[in-house]
């Protein structure tokens, strides 16, 4: 059927495969942005059989578009329930507009020609994984471009051998991506240059995580307000830099995975889907590792801010500085999480104003009731009486001393000149 559209989902996005006009009508009806799926890259997965030749002609006649999984796209696609496919981790459906009103899509019976081919389905899922990672790489690029220029200074200074190694790996991977885009595949020669880089990136990631853990531990060990303010300020200036290093590591790891999937598609297409699932699991493990470290840091910053708020009356300026540093760090981590696809929503703490804290103390006194007021009055009267008594004793003592001095002077004999 010319109007048949095959919908495929791998949990990170959706692929639409079908006649160009049908795919275009569907996308317009749902108002969803998309990218070219790159069906031509599936040819290595077809082999040389006659069935492969037929599938190849079908690929040439069809259009493929990829849609990123977002809240909006998920809501749009929820109208079309997906069935589990023969390929693990992939769901699919076959749709048609039936030449009815533009934008109306109905289900049709049958598996669909392209989706019925396991090799093609696995290949499409592999390409979808690549597109999802490339989208994440673009978002990290935007993140790195938006944050402080000090990050560029850190990455370029090469004061640390670990960071210097990562910069070298960056150049190698960038070169491989350029060659891939130019040639359309990853050759054995290109892959030989890249395959050893993952260890260097992993080492840099571990180093950056240790730096964040060290900052969290320093925060935990401080109780003095002055020391806490100094450590919070240090965290504010350093955390953003190490988050940028982590983001760059994650971006490079995604780039390596994109190249790796291309290499598997070219060299061992039968292993493509299992390799895709393995890369996805490894990526999720990296996210969990980063999440644990950054959330531990946020917990320490929150604890420091909470402690500072309890001492705002005694240390108003220092308390405000600690809470502001905490909010700065937490906001940076939340933005970092968003760029990496870590869904962690939270609110920043508000630094308590000294006047607010003073008002709280006043209200607590006023809420003690009449008994408290009476006690205050009694205490005030007793204090006044004691002060009055002491004043009287002091005055009496001074008067007596003055009288003694005058008496002693009158008892002395007069001199001859008097």
For the residues of 380-417, what is the DSSP string, one character each?
HHHHHHHHHHHHHHHHHHHHHHHHHHHHHHHHSPPPTT
Q: How many domains does the chain have?
A: 3
Q: How confident is the model over 195-232, as pLDDT tens digits?
A: 889 999 999 999 999 999 999 988 876 777 888 888 88
Q: Are residues 294 and 382 in the same domain?
A: no
Question: Which residues contact residue 261 at a Cβ distance below 8 angstroms, ignoring those fewer than 6 apart?
Answer: 126, 129, 130, 272, 275, 276, 279
* Residue 411, domain member (yes or no): no
Q: Are residues 347 and 381 in the same domain?
A: no
* Residue 417, domain member (yes or no): no
Q: Are residues 193 and 304 in the same domain?
A: yes
- In the prediction, which pLDDT does 360 show? 57
In which domain, by residue range, is 383 found? Answer: 368-404
* Residue 187, domain member (yes or no): yes
Q: Are residues 207 and 309 in the same domain?
A: yes
Across 186-196, b (16+ Cβ under 10 Å) vs e yields beeebbeebee
Quote the tokens at residue 326: 């905490």
Closest residue by Cα to residue 350 from 385, 314, 302, 315: 302
Whether the predicted pLDDT of 259 surpasses 90: yes
Is residue 61 within 8 A of residue 8, CB to CB? The reply is no
Q: Are residues 108 and 212 in the same domain?
A: no
- In the prediction, which pLDDT does 364 show? 52
* Residue 154, domain member (yes or no): yes
Quote the tokens at residue 232: 């919070």
Quote the CA–CA distance of 181 and 174 in Å, as a whole number.
Answer: 11
Q: Are residues 333 and 373 in the same domain?
A: no
- Supply the DSSP symbol for 353: P
Q: Which residues are paired to 8 by β-bridges?
A: 15, 92
Last residue of a domain, which of 324, 341, 359?
Answer: 359
* Residue 272, domain member (yes or no): yes
Q: Are residues 87 and 167 in the same domain?
A: no
pTM over 0.85, yes/no:
no
Quote the CA–CA distance of 288 and 329 in Å, as a whole number.
Answer: 19
Q: How far is CA 155 from CA 168, 197, 249, 356, in A?
A: 11, 17, 12, 43
Quote the tokens at residue 96: 């048609």
- In the prediction, which pLDDT does 379 show? 39
Last residue of a domain, which of 89, 122, 155?
Answer: 122
Q: Write down the mean pLDDT value for the chain.
A: 74
* CA-based torsion, 46, 273, 59, 39: positive or negative: negative
Is residue 126 within 8 A of residue 261, CB to CB? The reply is yes
Quote the CA–CA distance of 315 and 228 in Å, as a whole number.
Answer: 12
Q: How confident is the model over 316-369, as pLDDT tens digits?
A: 788 888 888 888 899 899 999 988 988 754 544 455 544 455 455 445 544 544
Q: 306 vs 174, which has greater pLDDT?
A: 174
Q: Are residues 388 and 287 in the same domain?
A: no
* Residue 166, domain member (yes or no): yes
Q: Are residues 191 and 322 in the same domain?
A: yes
Quote the tokens at residue 240: 């953003």
* Residue 198, domain member (yes or no): yes
Binning pLDDT at 50, 70 and 90, where does residue 173 land?
very high
Percent of the chain whose predicted confidence (pLDDT) is above 90? 22
* Residue 129, domain member (yes or no): no
Terminal C-alpha separation, the chain: 142
Q: Are residues 169 and 266 in the same domain?
A: yes
Quote the CA–CA distance of 312 and 206 in Å, as a whole number.
Answer: 37
Q: Are residues 94 and 227 in the same domain?
A: no
Helix or strand (DSSP H, E) at 158 = none
Q: Are residues 80 and 151 in the same domain?
A: no
Q: Residue 95, SS3? A: strand
Closest residue by Cα to residue 132 from 296, 239, 284: 284
Q: Residue 113, SS3? A: coil
């Amino acid at each position: 059927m010319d109007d048949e559209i095959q919908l495929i989902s791998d949990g990170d996005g959706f692929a639409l495969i079908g006649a160009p006009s049908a795919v275009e009508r569907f996308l317009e009806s749902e108002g969803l942005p998309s990218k070219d799926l790159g069906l031509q890259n599936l040819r290595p997965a077809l082999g040389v059989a006659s069935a492969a030749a037929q599938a190849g002609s079908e690929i040439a006649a069809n259009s493929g578009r990829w849609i990123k999984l977002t809240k909006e796209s998920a809501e749009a696609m929820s109208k079309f329930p997906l069935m589990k496919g023969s390929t693990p981790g992939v769901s699919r459906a076959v749709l048609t507009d039936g030449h009815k009103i533009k934008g109306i899509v109905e289900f049709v019976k049958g598996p669909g020609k392209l989706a019925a081919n396991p090799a093609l389905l696995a290949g499409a899922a592999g390409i979808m994984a690549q597109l999802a990672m490339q989208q994440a790489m673009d978002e990290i690029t935007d993140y790195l471009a938006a944050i402080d220029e000090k990050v560029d200074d850190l990455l370029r200074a090469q004061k640390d051998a670990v960071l210097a190694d990562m910069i070298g790996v960056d150049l190698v991977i960038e070169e491989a991506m350029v060659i891939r885009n130019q040639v359309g595949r990853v050759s054995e020669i290109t892959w030989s240059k890249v395959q050893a880089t993952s260890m260097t990136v992993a080492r840099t990631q571990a180093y950056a995580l240790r730096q964040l853990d060290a900052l969290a531990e320093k925060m935990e060990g401080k109780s003095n307000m002055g020391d806490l303010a100094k450590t919070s300020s240090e965290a504010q200036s350093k955390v953003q830099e190490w988050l940028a290093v982590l983001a760059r590591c994650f971006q490079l790891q995604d780039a390596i995975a994109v190249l790796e999937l291309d290499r598997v598609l070219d060299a061992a297409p039968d292993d493509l889907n299992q390799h895709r699932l393995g890369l996805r699991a490894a990526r999720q493990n990296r996210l969990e590792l980063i999440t644990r470290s950054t959330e531990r840091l946020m917990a320490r910053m929150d604890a420091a801010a909470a402690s500072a708020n309890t001492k705002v009356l005694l240390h108003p300026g220092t308390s405000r500085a600690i809470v502001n540093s905490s909010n700065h760090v937490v906001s940076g981590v939340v933005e970092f999480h968003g760029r990496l696809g870590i869904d962690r929503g939270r609110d920043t703490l508000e630094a308590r104003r000294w006047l607010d804290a003073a008002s709280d103390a006043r209200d607590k006194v006023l809420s003690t009731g009449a008994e408290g007021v009476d006690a205050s009055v009694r205490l005030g009267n007793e204090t006044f009486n004691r002060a009055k008594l002491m004043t009287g004793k002091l005055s009496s003592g001074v008067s007596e001393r003055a009288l003694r001095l005058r008496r002693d002077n009158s008892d002395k004999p007069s001199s001859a000149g008097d």
